[in-house]
Structures are given as structure tokens and as C-alpha cells.
Amino acid sequence: MESAFAAIDMPRTLADSAYSSLKRDILDFRLAPGDRFTETEIAERLQVSRTPVREALFRLEREGYLEVRQRNGWLVRPLDFNTLDHFYELRSVLEAAAVHALCAPGQGPDPMHALQPLADIWLVDASERSTDCEWLADLDERFHIELVAAAGNPEIARVHRAATERIRIVRRLDFTQPDRIDSTYDEHGAILSAILARDGAGAARLLQAHIQDSQDAVRKITLHRLYSTRRAKAA
């Protein structure tokens, strides 16, 4: 299975490699919101010069993950729930449009063909459901990305993928809660069943409710929970 991190899995230069390592550190909570560090510390840890590290850091700053502090090095940007809300709302609009395109009579690819790999994951008996939180977080991201990609508009898919990546850190925290794991299976299964039945309105309604539930869960995330998750990963 292709990893949800595929876009950062193939470094081509030292700067790419530093970028990939730092981004993974952020998304896996080894560098948590509010953490501070210097270029020298990162260069020593990655065993590269400061030049590729600096390039990687500025790239992550442009993407919204870091802030540069002229006298105090770098800061992992604190969680901004207003910004996260924006990305959730964007995803909701784009995914609803994709669902309607998939279900439109005589338009787009056959939903069964396009979405069969997702159906094989999410439309399973309860006894076959995974409880691996990290794996499910990646699968959840894949569900939303492939749903939009299946509608066949590459530009919309690109914008959607970028928005999905920006909420990845909190979505992965969301999957540390057992009730969210069960509800995600149920909700994804219902959405897919509606699409396969060509019920565009029903699928869009279910999808938007699913995204809203996720957005509400994210609002409950605290720094205590984030740091607790980081300690558990390090143990």
C-alpha cells in the first residue's frame, strides 16, 4: 500500500532529505507545536551542513509548519484552530463536489471501478477492522484523497491534497481515540455505499457530517493530549 507520506518519501538532495526528516518529526509529534530549536541543533542531529537545513526550514515555513524567530531560532507553529477550520471547510466543499461528480448519471468513471480499493478497506465486517491507530490515520487520509481523485479533476485534487496535509497532525491525534476509530469505519462505509448506489445527495450529506464530526473532535485536542501522545511514541 502506498503510504500517505509518499510525497515526502523520496528525497533527491540533502535539502530534500532534511525537509522530509523535519516534516516527519512534525507530523509524528517529535517536534510539537510550540517547540523551539536552532539550525545548528538540526544540522548536528541530521549530520549535514546548515545550508540544506536552512533551505528545508524555509520551505516548511512557507508551508505553514514553522515560524522563524530571528533571535531564538525556529518555532513549530502553534495549533491555529481558525486556520484548521478553514481547511476542514475547504475539504468539505471539494469532497461534496467530487461525490456529486461521481454519482452524476452518464458522467465520470464507474464508481465501483474507481472506488473498489477503498470499498475493500472500509466495507468489511466488524471482526476485520484494524485497531492500528497510525495505519488507520493513513488510511483515512487515503480515503479522502482518493475519493476526490476518482472524480477526475487534477487541479481540484491537488488543492484538496494540500488542504488534507495541513490537518494531518490533528487527524493523527484524533485516531488515538477508540470511539473515533469505530465511527470512522461506520461513516466511511456509509459514504461509499451511498456513492456506489449513485445517491449523490445522500453521499454528500453523509460526507459533510463525517467531516464536521472530525472537525468537532479536533476542537477537543489539547496540548496535554499532544504531548502525552509524543511521550507514548517515545517510550
Segment 30-46, tens digit of pLDDT: 898 889 999 999 999 99
Return the minimum-mean-pLDDT range out of 82-86, 169-173, 225-229.
225-229
Return the minimum-mean-pLDDT range out of 84-88, 147-151, 207-211, 213-217.
213-217
Question: Could you tell me how many residues make up the chain?
Answer: 235
Q: Which domains does the chain have, with CATH numbers?
A: 14-76 (1.10.10.10), 81-231 (1.20.120.530)
Q: Residue 67: helix, strand or coil by DSSP?
A: strand
What is the C-alpha to C-alpha distance for residues 68 and 3, in angstroms, rounded to an integer? 30
End-to-end CA distance of the chain: 27
pLDDT-derived band at 138 (thresholds 50, 70, 90) equals confident
pLDDT above 60 (res 140):
yes
Closest of 68, 23, 27, 72 to residue 46, by C-alpha: 23
Angle between helices 81-103 and 133-150 (to 10 degrees): 50
**89 with 174: CB under 8 angstroms?**
no
pLDDT above 70: percentage of residues in the chain: 86
Q: Residue 74: helix, strand or coil by DSSP?
A: strand
